[in-house]
A and B are shown apart, each in its own frame.
Chain A
Amino acid sequence: MHNNNYGEIYHPLTFVDQLEKNRHIVLLYDNQKYAFWIIARYFLNGLTKGESCIFFTSDNPYEIENRLNMEGIDVRYYKNNNLLRIYTIERSDDNKQDTLNTLRHIRKDATIGMKPPFRFAGRTITDTETKEGMKLGIVLEAVGNENFDSFDNSQMCFYDISKIEKSMRPRWIHDLLKSHHCVIYASEPNKAVAFDTNLLDDEGQ
């Protein structure tokens, strides 16, 4: 498994190793390398327990497979055993306005033929660079979080911070934290951190 260059365990990896069942996690990253460390560890922890892992992407699936391979996941083996799937999300967010049904449909479609428990990584929306895109994304995240127990799975939603709409970025990130159980900040080792978002609940009161 991955070995970092700093002679110490990358801080959030320990957090990932200790994650409880059925958690809704937001992964915010400023460096894709660290994001893939986290995602690969999250998947590998599930795969070794026989859980099914699904990666949502609108990018080239082969690139994702290569990245997971590079992080120590035997993609071919797990795909052949129906434990790993790269699920392509359509780029347009136009058909995602009916939030709860969208989430249920994607979950059902993405897991056809796979056995629970499920671990997901990725997002339902693709446009994070416009206000409308982020607004829809936040609604989907919030509705998903409110109904999370009914989905009976874990989900890690990842966001490239630099690609989140800029004029309201603090507000979007605030709302992302509010609509997840925990946050992982994948950054340089001296800045990276992970924690449960309910620890922030009393702020400003």
Chain B
Amino acid sequence: MELYHDILKGIIDELVDSGNGDGSSNVKPTRVQLRSNLAYDKLVKYLDELERNKLIIKDPLQITPKGRDFLRDFDRIASFLIEMGIRYFDSSTVVGLRNQ
């Protein structure tokens, strides 16, 4: 989730710095890579995931309203997870099914 945040923030920052906060700018993935401090292959993988989750459009690279909502809500989501005691999302199956 934090990586999603960093990449989305990188896209927004790039839009703002290039003077096109309306999303009309042609954002280069390599610039987002620099801002999010990720290896390029990982960035490509996460951009695919972000597009699948409808948070960005890849061509041309831009952030969707849902992506903006996620950025806006990021702190609340993090606080919610901490309050619920969830440190990370386990990729294994759920506990009830494991014990069957």
Interface residue ranges, A against B (CB under 8 Å) = 11, 28, 134-139, 141-142, 161, 168-175, 177-179, 185, 191-193, 195-196, 198-205
Contacts and interface: CB of A to CB of B under 8 A. Distances in A.
B1 A175 contact: no
A195 B5 CA distance: 14
Label chain A's interface by main secondary structure: helix
Contacts of B87: 204
A193 B77 contact: yes
Interface string B48-81: 0100010000000000000000100100110111
A179 B94 contact: yes
A199 B91 contact: no
Contacts of A138: 94-97
Contacts of A185: 80
Where chain B touches its partner, the secondary structure class is helix
A11 B53 CA distance: 21
A11 B77 CA distance: 12
A146 to B, nearest CB: 9
B80 A139 contact: no
A193 B80 contact: yes
A35 to B, nearest CB: 15
A204 B89 contact: yes
Given A139-B96, A173-B84, A200 B76 contact: no
Given A135-B99, A142-B97, A195-B77, A201 B91 contact: yes
Contacts of A201: 49, 89, 91
B78 to A, nearest CB: 10
B79 to A, nearest CB: 7
Contact of B89 (A161, A174, A192): A174
8 contacts: A138-B96, A172-B95, A174-B86, A174-B90, A193-B73, A200-B81, A201-B91, A203-B89
A199 B85 contact: no
Contacts of B100: 139
